[in-house]
Chains A and B, each alone.
Chain A
Amino acid sequence: MKEEIKITDHVIVPKHEILTPDEIKHLLDTYKISINQLPRIAEDDVVVKEIGANVGDVLKITRSSHTAGVTHYYRLVVKE
């Protein structure tokens, strides 16, 4: 049997990283928003489980974009 493939290895899954509290503060200050204004990602999302993020964490998602090359997107991990 073939070894199990990691979900994060799939080409269409962008890189997800957990932000540190300092980085979160910096992010919210740059955009002048509160944490609840961020887009969300569910706690039971497969990628969230894979990287071991918890409710309340902010994930930095590095997407490859058709127009800008690379873009960053942020999602707040929430309970469903």
Chain B
Amino acid sequence: MIDLPKSILEKAEKIFEEKKIPQHKREKILENLKNAYKLYVYEPGEAIGIVSAQSISEPATQMTMRSYHVAGSAGIRVTLGLPRLMEIFDARRTPTTPMMVIYLDKQYQTKEKAREVAARIKEVRIREMVTDDVIDLLNSQLELKIDLKKAVLFNLDKEKIIDNLKKNTKDVTIKSHEDKILVSPKKEDTSIREMQKLKSKILDMHLYGIKGIQQVVVKREGDEWVLNTLGSNVKKVMAVEGVDGARTETNDIHEVAKTLGIEAARFVIIKEASKTLEEQGLEVDIRHIMLVADAMTATGKIQAIGRYGVAGSKGSVLARAAFEETIKHLTAASIRGRKDRFNGAIENVMVGKLVPIGTGMFDLTMKADENEKEENSKSKESK
């Protein structure tokens, strides 16, 4: 028996209250509603996967034709449209533009406070504190001129930077000279190439803020101050003072799966996919996307839609062979003597059997034992 979902019940309740419908009528209406709802539920044996696949891919073909570019818009440029959709369904390790939306605590709802938090989050590398870098080949040392005024903004001074350098480097001596930091390798006669390497390594060194957050934009969204970032690191950002950790969002599906679990990842897949389609002005029923997201997370790990994911882990050999890498699957199956149970749609189409979809899904069976019993008892009665 199918129960009415909560959203419909709530809606019905609201209408009952508005129209002041008496109690005995309400029950009757709910009964009718239930019957009407049942008509809309997919019947057992319906090929919902194929329906979903077509309902998503048809609008996706429109997307490529309608792609456009915005020049010089404020904020952070994101991957949109088909490339982003492919990224989601292929479950790529890292999105091309990892992004976070960070909400702030109540006490931080002013522009100044929001900026303060933003400064705490943005990753600062040594490169940004250095105004001038010179490789002194004569003394084989690296001279870094520090912008002390800028450093103060991030609660840093020269000593702190030197401490940081010492912690993160090996086999170098670090000296301080006026507003410069001198770094020289302990090893004698270092080649120019090694010096160059050392320089870029030091300049890229993490100094302050959260690793991976390249850019932070403070924005007003509704009646709240919100931070948008380029680069993503949920775990660290959630713990930052002033950040409302429970609402921190990211578009990196794998990161969410790792830090918040597979169910949260499913949520993000649905949200990102429907957002991408919506931005392009395409209407895809969210149920199709939900089905895809469920399929992608059914094993407990994120699986891509494709050769190495969902399609590659199908039970039937012939179904896998029909999709991609035919020879690989057929040879592997024949070497190992695999069986095909012909439970799916594709393999049955291939051999021309009845496809287990809709009415083809059911067989007539008869419980022989019970029938015999009944017959026996009947014959006894007649006697």
Interface residues of A (CB under 8 A from B): 1-2, 4-5, 7, 9-14, 16, 39-42, 45-48, 61, 63, 65-71, 73, 75, 78, 80
Contact = CB atoms under 8 A, between A and B. Distances in A.
B251 to A, nearest CB: 12
**Interface size class, chain B:** 35 or more
- Say whether chain B's binding surface is mostly helix, strand, loop, or mixed: helix
A14 to B, nearest CB: 5
A46 B260 contact: yes
A77 B298 CA distance: 12
Contact of B264 (A12, A66, A73): A12
Given A13-B260, A41-B262, A69 B300 contact: no
B239 interface: yes
A4 to B, nearest CB: 7
Contact of A67 (B7, B238, B258): B7
Contact of B245 (A10, A48, A65, A66): A10
Interface of B: 5-10, 238-241, 245-249, 256, 258-264, 267-268, 270, 286-287, 290, 294, 297-301
Contacts of A68: 5-8
Contact of A69 (B6, B239, B262, B270): B6
Which of A9, A12, A68, A75 is the most central at the interface, judged by chain B CB atoms within 10 Å of its CB?
A12
Contacts of B261: 7, 13, 41, 45-48
Which of B7, B9, B256 is the most central at the interface, judged by chain A CB atoms within 10 Å of its CB?
B7
Given A5-B238, A69-B5, A69-B7, A12 B300 contact: no
B300 A75 contact: yes
Nearest to B103: A11
